[in-house]
């Protein structure tokens, strides 16, 4: 059996998502190509021996049962292994590439941009790429946004800074106008760095390209600080976000133990998925209550949050509470739902709500209480990536270029079962990855905090 079918131990984020894949047949792992790859890769001139083929696969489920099934039947759902191909579809001397970043900021975006540009240049001899400014609106003529030439010199130091040198934006743009602009600019490859909304736009753009019978490749790199993209073990920037969240928790803990009956309350990002809050809690183990969107909680009642925090203060005289921004939305959104430019539901501020609710509750019962509220959200997403995420971003960018030059399209570069793989974009948008509250990972969080279910029934 080829080594590509084997895997290192499954990391927690991946084990959660694998548990949610009830039926492997629902996932189509076929990667589209623009045509036959017949051009010899310039990497061959360096006596490269690390080329991979489309027959190199990575099992969807890395378990002994899955491997045994494959050995017995020769059948198993698997992803195409990422990496350089010996033959290319695009001629490097005649290829023009574009890079666009969309959605919210995340540590590591500049690292991905830099990796793509350097791989294009040093690996394939493509001297520059075109940077599209402020997301997909950069393609739309009415915005009058200039492009940015991305050369190795232009990206030399960008990894030292947070954010994205290209700028970003939210909101839908006319797909026809985007493809019109790509045709006018002679773009052969578009690299899209973004999350769920960006991927949905990528699917629409690819459909328009296919409708016009154009030979343009669309390759995406998954970006979301919340780590909620389906069929990705862990998104870039997540490790940095957890590290920054831990810094905030340490400050909250110091404040909490520094005064009698003091609550340190920290809010972190996580609209629909509480991976940052859960991972930081698991890593630091100074949090007493971890509140995430996937685990509902009651405020009132004998087992509700208010009583639980009261008991904690009476026993230990301090408490640290970590809440993801999407937790407890039933208490803050009301009946009216509004959406942002990308169609995402606008969240109520659960952090401020809990701060004020705790103040009112302890005043009502006549118990002295001090609360320190910390909201590091924009600090977390705007910092440069840490070393782990930088290495991860470098590999994502490199594999995105290898896939695109081979003429592959409509794919997301993912990390799965400790390998870099190609995943069809349309599969990645089928659902959202969330913390599995029946998993060993969430049990570890509960073991670290000692919190109850915070539900009365």
**Catalytic residue annotation:** 226
Strands 408-409 and 39-40, sheet pairing: unpaired
- Answer yes or no: are the C-beta atoms of 217 and 188 closer than 8 Å: yes
H-run or E-run covering 400: helix 387-405
Contact 219, 246 (CB under 8 A): no
Q: Is the dihedral of CA 254, 257, 258, 263 positive or negative?
A: positive
Tokens 């990497």 correspond to: 43
3-state secondary structure of 163: coil
Name which of 30, 33, 31, 53 is nearest 41 in CA terms: 53
Distance CA 242, CA 442 (A): 16
Closest CA relative to residue 400, chosen from 192, 234, 229: 192
Rounded to an integer, what distance in angstroms lies between the CA atom of residue 217 and that of residue 206?
Answer: 8
Tokens of 177: 């106008």
């Amino acid at each position: 059996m080829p080594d590509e079918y084997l895997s290192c131990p499954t990391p927690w984020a991946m084990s959660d998502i694998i548990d949610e894949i009830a039926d492997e047949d629902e996932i189509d792992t076929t990667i589209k190509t623009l045509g036959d790859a017949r051009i010899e890769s310039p990497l061959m001139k360096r006596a490269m021996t690390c080329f991979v083929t489309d027959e190199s696969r990575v099992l969807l489920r890395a378990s002994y049962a899955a491997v045994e099934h494959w050995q017995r039947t020769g059948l198993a759902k698997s992803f195409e292994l990422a990496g350089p191909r010996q033959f290319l579809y695009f001629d490097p001397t005649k290829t023009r590439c574009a890079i666009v970043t969309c959605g919210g900021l995340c540590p590591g975006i500049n690292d991905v941009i830099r990796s793509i540009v350097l791989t294009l240049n040093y690996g394939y001899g493509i001297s520059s790429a075109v940077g599209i400014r402020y997301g997909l609106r950069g393609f739309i003529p009415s915005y009058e946004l200039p492009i940015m030439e991305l050369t190795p010199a232009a990206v030399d130091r960008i990894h030292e800074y947070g954010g994205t040198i290209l700028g970003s934006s939210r909101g839908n743009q006319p797909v026809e106008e985007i493809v019109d602009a790509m045709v006018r600019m002679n773009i052969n490859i578009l690299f899209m760095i973004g999350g769920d909304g960006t991927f949905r736009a990528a699917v629409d753009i690819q459909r328009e390209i296919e409708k016009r019978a154009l030979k343009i490749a669309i390759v995406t790199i998954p970006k979301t600080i919340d780590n909620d993209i389906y069929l990705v073990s862990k998104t870039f920037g997540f490790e940095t976000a957890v590290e920054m969240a831990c810094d905030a928790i340490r400050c909250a803990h110091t404040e909490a133990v520094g005064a009698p009956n003091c609550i340190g309350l920290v809010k972190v990002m996580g609209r629909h998925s509480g991976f940052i809050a859960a991972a930081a809690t698991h890593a630091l183990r100074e949090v007493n209550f971890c509140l995430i969107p996937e685990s509902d909680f009651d405020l009132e009642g004998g087992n509700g949050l208010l009583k639980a925090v009261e008991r904690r203060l009476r026993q230990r005289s301090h408490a640290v509470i970590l809440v993801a921004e999407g937790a407890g939305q039933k208490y803050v959104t009301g009946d009216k739902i509004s959406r942002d430019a990308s169609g995402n539901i606008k969240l109520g501020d659960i952090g401020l709500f809990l701060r004020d609710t705790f103040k009112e509750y302890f005043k009502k019962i006549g118990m002295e209480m001090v609360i320190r509220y910390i909201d590091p959200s924009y600090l977390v997403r705007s910092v440069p990536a840490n070393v782990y995420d930088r290495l991860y971003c470098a590999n994502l960018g490199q594999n995105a270029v290898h896939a695109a030059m081979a003429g592959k399209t409509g794919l997301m570069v993912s990390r799965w079962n400790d390998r870099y793989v190609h995943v069809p974009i349309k599969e990645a948008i089928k659902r959202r990855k969330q913390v599995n509250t029946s998993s060993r990972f969430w049990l570890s969080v509960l073991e670290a905090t000692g919190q109850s279910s915070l539900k009365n029934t």
